[in-house]
Amino acid sequence: MAKQTLLSLVQDVLSAISGDVVNSVSDTVESTQIAVLVKRCYLEIVAELDLPVNYELTTLTALADTDRPTHMLIPEDMSTIEWIKYNVKLDDDDDDVYRDIRRLTPEEFVRHVNARPSTDTTNYQVVEHNGRSLVIDKTEAPRYWTSFDDEYLVFDSYNSDIDSTLQSSKFIIHAASEPVFDVDDDDFIPDLPANLFPYLYSKVEANAFAKDKQQVNPKSEQTENRLRIRSQRNKHRQARLNNQGPDYGKRT
């Protein structure tokens, strides 16, 4: 099955359950309900399969706050971080050198940074987070990060000889974005690989049949279960290492 628009999916499901013919998802109450059901099933599939299509290379939002030079704002649409790298080159004319930044739990991070001498203001800077002090190294690029509140990432150091704060342009982050779904757009195409559209359709059809007929359609249920199992195997379009990065649980 090729990729389908929202309208096409709604029309196919309505045909399967003997619903009215529509030319737009907003034509009838039933078609509108099916469109909402498509969205619900799509979001369930995204959550279930942790799809690679939702991952991309991105960055964080800089605060440009010298009182909190290693705080970076998490973008609103970012849901899961797989890994973080930072450009540690010392001169603009040098080749880029990206270092892996390791995640610590909040407890590990506090233990790490607050083992430093807070009175050494030449090499360290005390910053505040929610009224608590963190001793940040200001002589080198970051090595560790954590999040205390799911709003900011906090890093353990920055090189004050190069930048006054950490820079968005120096981060490379592989992260998942929260999916977008427009139930009012007939031409909207759910962001799924083409090979998962049969699973989406069968899942919507099974749910729509159960809702409309107040009973389970065994054939639809069997098809959905079969395609769910197949989708688990085929969710990646290419070979992919099983490298699960940290998921800090941002807004679902």
Question: Is the model's pLDDT at 101 over the cut of 60?
Answer: yes
Question: Which one has a higher pLDDT value, 119 or 246?
Answer: 119
Question: Is the model's pLDDT at 239 over the cut of 60?
Answer: no
Question: Is the model's pLDDT at 251 over the cut of 80?
Answer: no
Structure tokens of 147?
A: 């999040």
Structure tokens of 99?
A: 């270092």
Structure tokens of 188?
A: 């909207």
pLDDT tens, 211-233? 766 555 554 455 445 444 444 44
Task: Give the CA distances from residue 200 to residues 78, 169, 171, in Å, rounded to whole numbers and listed in that order.
Answer: 24, 37, 35
Residue 12, amino acid: D
Model confidence at 20, in pLDDT bands (50, 70, 90)? very high
> Which residues have CB under 8 Å from 146's CB, separation 6+?
103, 104, 105, 106, 108, 109, 153, 154
Least confident of 117-131, 181-195, 214-228: 214-228
Beta strands 98-103 and 144-146 are parallel
Q: What is the chain's mean pLDDT, rounded? A: 86
Beta strands 71-73 and 61-62 are antiparallel
Q: Residue 123, class by beta-carbon neighbours within 10 Å (0-12 exposed, 13-18 middle, 19+ buried)?
A: middle
Question: HSE-up of 237 (CA within 13 Å, CB side)?
Answer: 8
Q: Which of 173, 207, 245, 154 is nearest to 45 (CA)?
A: 207
Question: Which one has a higher pLDDT value, 243 or 176?
Answer: 176
- What share of the chain in percent tops pLDDT 90? 65
Question: HSE-up of 210 (CA within 13 Å, CB side)?
Answer: 13
Residue 187, amino acid: D
Is 155 in contact with 174 (CB distance < 8 Å)? no
Output b/e per residue, 90-117; b: 16+ Cβ within 10 A. Answer: eeeeeeeeeeebebbeeeebbebbeebe
Can you tell me the mean pLDDT for 169-197? 92
Strands (E), 138-204: 144-146, 152-155, 171-177
Secondary structure class of 194 (helix, strand, coil): helix
Can you tell me the mean pLDDT for 136-155? 96
Structure tokens of 65?
A: 């706050």
Structure tokens of 117?
A: 């001498």
- In DSSP terms, 155 is beta-bridged to 145
Q: What is the pLDDT of residue 161?
A: 95
Q: What is the pLDDT of residue 215?
A: 55
Q: Which of 43, 74, 99 is nearest to 151 (CA)?
A: 74
Model confidence at 121, in pLDDT bands (50, 70, 90)? very high
Question: Is the model's pLDDT at 240 over the cut of 60?
Answer: no
Question: Is the model's pLDDT at 252 over the cut of 70?
Answer: no
pLDDT tens, 23-67? 999 999 999 999 999 999 998 888 788 777 778 999 999 999 999
Element (H, E) at 198: helix 197-213
Model confidence at 104, in pLDDT bands (50, 70, 90)? very high
Question: Is the model's pLDDT at 129 over the cut of 50?
Answer: yes
Model confidence at 179, in pLDDT bands (50, 70, 90)? confident
Q: What is the pLDDT of residue 31?
A: 96
